[in-house]
């Protein structure tokens, strides 16, 4: 359960237990080929100062490229959400390997924006 993991995380930070857990944290070199400031979910040692990412063995080139592609998708998605930039949202969806046609892309983007305008007024 996530509640148990959350309690263990808090206990490990408070008590400096140095527990190894999978958490989201700054990359800081844990995955070679990704920016240090991007968020990754990796094994970390949880200390009183927070998570310390453990280095991950190098990925095969094709796998690393897919991870980089998804990080670019995430960055463009955040940019679009913060700024209301439809072009950034469109470019993000083009990068997503689950989106296979432009027709579906345009329709999905517009339906998502319209359904969430109350939460994303920057797209008005």
Q: What torsion do the CA atoms of 29, 25, 122, 101 make, to the nearest 10 degrees? A: 70
Q: pLDDT-based confidence at 81, cuts 50/70/90?
A: very high
Rounded to whole angstroms, the Cα distance separating 16 from 105 reads 47
Q: What is the pTM of this model?
A: 0.78
Q: Mean pLDDT across the stretch 44-73?
A: 96
Average pLDDT over residues 37-62: 96
Burial zone of 111 (CB within 10 Å; 0-12 exposed, 13-18 middle, 19+ buried): exposed
Half-sphere exposure of 96 (CA within 13 A, CB side): 20
In 3-state terms, what secondary structure has residue 69?
helix
């Amino acid at each position: 359960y996530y509640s148990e993991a959350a309690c263990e995380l808090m206990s490990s930070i408070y008590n400096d237990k140095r527990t190894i857990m999978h958490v989201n944290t700054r990359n800081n070199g844990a995955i070679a080929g990704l920016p240090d400031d991007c968020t990754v979910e990796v094994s970390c040692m949880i200390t009183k100062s927070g998570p310390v990412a453990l280095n991950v063995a190098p990925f095969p080139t094709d796998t690393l490229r897919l991870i980089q592609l998804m990080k670019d998708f995430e960055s463009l998605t955040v940019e679009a959400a913060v700024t209301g930039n439809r072009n950034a949202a469109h470019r993000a969806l083009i990068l997503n390997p689950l989106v296979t046609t432009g027709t579906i892309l345009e329709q999905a983007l517009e339906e998502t924006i319209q359904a969430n305008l109350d939460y994303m007024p920057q797209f008005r």
